[in-house]
Amino acid sequence: MEDKKIIFSGAQPSGKLTLGNYIGALKNWVALQDEYNCYYCIVDLHAITVPQEPKDLRKNSLEVLAKYIASGIDPEKNTLFIQSHVSAHTELSWVLNTISSMGELNRMTQFKEKSKKSEANLNAALYTYPVLMASDILLYQTDLVPVGEDQKQHLELARNLAQRFNTRYSETFKVPEPYIAKVGARIMSLQEPTKKMSKSDENENAYIGMIETADSIRRKVKRAVTDSIGIVKYSDEQPGVKNLINIYSNLSGKSIEEIENMYEGKGYGVFKDDTAEVIVEGLRPVREKYEDLLKNKDYLETIYAQGADKAERAAIKTLRKVYKKVGLIPRKFI
């Protein structure tokens, strides 16, 4: 375990995980678990940067854990834990805030986008979110971070902060690298296919949950926005169709060319019907395992309790080093 490279990643329990989270993140995490020492976190402190209903947040957090495991992420091989259970995340974040400039935080596109959406309750945590994310990553001396396109800028900040701290106070943090997954496209909204599929989209037809009934999946795929060209072709001019082909290909294992050939001369109707079935069947084993897991809350509690212990042991080592280097007197216990 010790000589394996370290991976850190997480998802926010800010809603129900989507097919985008599954294809773009969870499925890839499964593929990494034998080769790497992986920390997969449920980043609840990130989720509260936008208003959450407390009881929903609690429920979603436990459900995210069940979804990780149901996707094939093995709690024996990986460290699965809840971010707020390891207080070193917020503690390191404070120190990293002291070396982060307002200028670099102003440039973060996610902040710009989210602040447009929730101008009414624009809070400081939304602004310093990338610093907390840097702290998540750097605490574990992470080598590799599997990130989507949308998170690249945040990882770049984590790298800059690690280097800055190391230069100012001597070598402390490993400078993490992005891990580019071999498979797993960015899954787009079914309603606005130039936007990514997002679990907090106000329009429920824009996303498919990882756990959703077959009927609802069929209905949403049927309503998915396409175009008037009428040809099943993988092209940037047809973002809706391209997105459905990506989903189809990822979940069926068929290549894009195979799919294009299969639907040559056929309309979108049959292509959409088949895509919906591929999704229903692709998610079926996940849904079945998930339903079993939710019946066993004690098991889930044991997993996140053990995960927090394991994560904390690693995190505290880095935090102690950091506190010492910046000149904080180590606490004495009497």
The catalytic residue positions are 114, 196, 199
Question: Which of 16, 174, 199, 220 lies at the binding interface for ligand AQP (CB under 6 A)?
Answer: 199
Selected range binding ligand AQP among 70-78, 122-130, 143-151, 214-222, rule: CB under 6 A: 143-151
Question: Shortest distance, CB of residue 146 to ligand AQP, whole angstroms?
Answer: 7
Question: Shortest distance, CB of residue 74 to ligand AQP, whole angstroms?
Answer: 19
Comparing CB distances to ligand AQP, the nearer of 151 and 165 is 151
Question: Which of 25, 38, 211, 217 lies at the binding interface for ligand AQP (CB under 6 A)?
Answer: 25
Question: Shortest distance, CB of residue 234 to ligand AQP, whole angstroms?
Answer: 17
Comparing CB distances to ligand AQP, the nearer of 247 and 314 is 247
Question: Which of 32, 197, 224, 293 lies at the binding interface for ligand AQP (CB under 6 A)?
Answer: 197
Comparing CB distances to ligand AQP, the nearer of 46 and 272 is 46
Comparing CB distances to ligand AQP, the nearer of 5 and 321 is 5
For residues 267-326, which are near ligand AQP according to CB under 6 A? Answer: none
Tokens of 185: 């496209």
Measuring CA to CA, how many Å separate 319 from each of 95, 129, 169, 313, 334?
Answer: 10, 19, 14, 10, 21
Based on the shown chain and the rule CB under 6 A, indicate whether residue 95 belongs to the binding site for ligand AQP. no
Question: Shortest distance, CB of residue 130 to ligand AQP, whole angstroms?
Answer: 12
Spatial separation of the C-alpha atoms in residues 334 and 331, rounded to whole Å: 10
Q: Which of 314, 317, 308, 318 is nearest to 41 (CA)?
A: 308
Q: Which of 312, 265, 113 is nearest to 195 (CA)?
A: 113
Q: Are 16 and 211 in contact (CB under 8 A)?
A: yes
- CB burial string 41-56: b at 16+ within 10 A, e below: bbbbbbbbbbebeeee
Closest residue to bound ligand AQP by CB: 24
Question: Which of 61, 93, 198, 250 lies at the binding interface for ligand AQP (CB under 6 A)?
Answer: 198
Residue entry with tokens 């997969």: 40
- Give me the sheet containing 6-11, strands edge to edge: 79-82, 37-42, 6-11, 144-146, 177-179
Based on the shown chain and the rule CB under 6 A, indicate whether residue 56 belongs to the binding site for ligand AQP. no
Selected range binding ligand AQP among 21-29, 80-88, 128-136, 277-285, rule: CB under 6 A: 21-29
Q: Are 236 and 242 in contact (CB under 8 A)?
A: yes
Spatial separation of the C-alpha atoms in residues 93 and 115, rounded to whole Å: 21
Question: Shortest distance, CB of residue 260 to ligand AQP, whole angstroms?
Answer: 22
Number of residues that bind ligand AQP (CB under 6 A): 21
Based on the shown chain and the rule CB under 6 A, indicate whether residue 24 belongs to the binding site for ligand AQP. yes
Q: State the residues that interact with ligand AQP by CB under 6 A.
A: 9, 11-12, 14-15, 18, 20-21, 24-25, 147-148, 150-151, 186-187, 196-200
